[in-house]
A and B are shown apart, each in its own frame.
Chain A
Amino acid sequence: MLKIENLHASIDGKEILKGLNLDVKAGEVHAIMGPNGAGKSTLASVLAGREEYEITEGTVAFEGKDLLEMATEDRAREGLFLAFQYPVEIPGVSNVNFLRTALNEIREYNGQEQISAKDFMALVREKSAIVELDAKLASRSVNEGFSGGEKKRNEIFQMAMLDPKLAILDETDSGLDIDALRIVANGVITLKSDKNATIVITHYQRLLDYIVPDFVHVLYDGKIVKSGPKELALELEEKGYDWIKAEFQH
């Protein structure tokens, strides 16, 4: 589904990703862990199409298409979803109105008919229940006045509404209390199928107790330096990142 080869990316002339490789297939959950500054969020930003980053080398194929050539909105329309680390507050734009616009633009891009108001509202009710998001929040301005936990739940609610092929969760667990973490994780698990894939970017292992990964990758200094089964996450939790740093410092 997603094939990243030798990806190099820099911002303001500083290279952050230095030859990253990753292969994600349908039905898989990949966890990307690593210390601060390793390039985890840069990877998420580059995949979502943030224009501040310059790609200097490498390729990213998404369902066989060149992802790096696509505008941000086209990546979303092709089925890529980024759950933001810091969801943006947009006063005056209602959550529901924004999602209907998004859903219809995605459907139009894929040659599907617009969703009817009735079907849309039914979908909102069904999907907001997955993350136990109050229906009132669904109709408020996007993220405005939401608590940290509500914002993250809103990200997963949007993911549920848009039903992406590949979801990238960027530090979705950070700042969540244990109950909110459980709700968010349950949402992600509920949406998981053998047709979609998930990349979980996290600093902590605890989210992976709920969303069990098929692969764990350690990102350090712009590269994936170690990959392994889910037990690798436990090892990282136990030993910290210092042993990785010691092993790969040059």
Chain B
Amino acid sequence: MNLETIIPEMAASVNWKLEGKHLLSEDLRKKALSVLENMPFPTTRTEAWKYTRLAKIRNGNFVARQEQLASNRHQIDLNAISLVFVNGHFASNLSSSHFPDGIKLLALSQMEVMELSVLGNTLPLEGELFNAFNTAYATDGVYLHISANMHIKPVIEITHIVTGTNTISHLRNVIVAEAFSKAHIVQQYVTENANTCFTNVVTEVSVAKNAFLTIDKLQYEDESCFTIATEQVTQATDSNFTINTLTLNGGLVRNNLNIAVNGQNCETHLNGAYILKGSQHVDNHTVVDHTVAHCVSNELYKGVIDEKATAVFNGKVFVRKDAQKINAFQSNGNVLLSNDATVNSKPELEIYADDVKCSHGSTTGQLDDEAIFYLRARGIGEKAARQLMVGAFVGDVFGKLTNEAVKTRVDQLLQERFEWDFVG
């Protein structure tokens, strides 16, 4: 493997050994590299990173590394079509090799140069350091194309496994749902014997006319690891896009969801749950950009934060001029379980049209002591009472999950990490 060190003259100077594999077109790579040359690492003075310190990522001595695993012990749905990546590289030995009609599913590394040359253009690079790193240094990722009118019944499960110490992974996924198609994707991020690793993943999603696409994004990485995960989504007329982001472990997790709703009569659903403890830091940034009229977007994020963990929610909804008759709702709720837990919640609406129905709200509180006493007075132990209350609080987000296998896995992970038993 050919390792490249980032040239020290770059503004975003880091001591990372990255793999010099050029996946996307040379033009795109040049643009990305020029961003890296000129752009310093963001600090907390940068508005988009105000509450998230990147020092541990900037100062990390990360190294790209390949590893072969003998088995995938993370598979959620046994009937799923499964693709597995380890440290940013396709693991063909762990992945499905037969696919139903109507989908093209493979690793970018298996694609022809010509096919690759047209990918990757929807992602903004200017001013976006991690997008630029990803575009210049992505080693592999998924290419999923769902043909028009096809309903893919099995879940498409994409598993990113990270192993080792200080491993850096750059993954680039491309998902295209053609007109009138329907599919359900599960993307999960997990680790095995990993320590202080960094993953920077970008998923570009195109939802064509009247397509229905659901993504469950399940994050369960080691508490010492860092992840920045960006979904760049465009929706065409009459389409329906749902993403459920469930963050159950990970040291520093930043999710960027950028949804451009470019066609009329679209529905967009963003649901998120984050359950944190220790010194975890989880930051959800979402942008829903309504550029045209007659669309609905609905955003529900809920967090439970214990010990010294910190959560950030920054949700922005734009309603552009002439994007009339938009219904946009956004809600973020947090429960703090300890005195040292912190949340920074910032819901934002920017509306330039005059005939819209929009609302946003944010609540942060503690569990109701009176309710806990009531439950205990009926014979329920204190721990179980608190768990019932927490489960009731985040239950409406977990209730959005439609795949039984995903629900069961979420239940298992909550049981494993918190000894909680919510989803039922």
Contacts and interface: CB of A to CB of B under 8 A. Distances in A.
Chain B interface mostly helix, strand, loop or mixed? helix
A109 B391 CA distance: 23
A158 B380 CA distance: 13
B373 A50 contact: yes
A101 interface: yes
Given A92-B392, A92-B393, A92-B395, A77 B371 contact: no
B388 A98 contact: yes
B393 A98 contact: no
Interface of A: 48-50, 71-73, 75-77, 82, 84, 87-93, 97-99, 101-103, 105-106, 109, 141-142, 158, 162
Contact of A98 (B370, B380, B396): B380
B382 interface: yes
A76 B378 contact: yes
Nearest to B381: A73
Contacts of A90: 368, 371, 374-375, 389, 392
Contacts of B392: 90-93, 141
B377 A49 contact: yes
B69 interface: no
Given A98-B388, A101-B388, A158 B378 contact: yes
Contact of B384 (A84, A89, A101): A101
A92 B374 contact: no
A109 B379 contact: yes
Contact of B388 (A48, A88, A93, A103): A93
Interface string B361-377: 00000001011011111
Contact of A73 (B368, B376, B393): B376
Contacts of A99: 378
Contacts of A106: 379
B111 to A, nearest CB: 47
A19 to B, nearest CB: 26
Given A92-B393, A92-B395, A93-B392, A87 B382 contact: no
Given A82-B377, A158-B378, 19 more contacts: A48-B377, A49-B376, A71-B376, A72-B373, A72-B377, A73-B376, A73-B381, A73-B382, A76-B376, A76-B378, A88-B368, A89-B371, A90-B374, A90-B392, A93-B391, A93-B392, A101-B380, A102-B380, A103-B379
A159 B396 CA distance: 29
A162 B375 CA distance: 13
Contacts of A82: 377
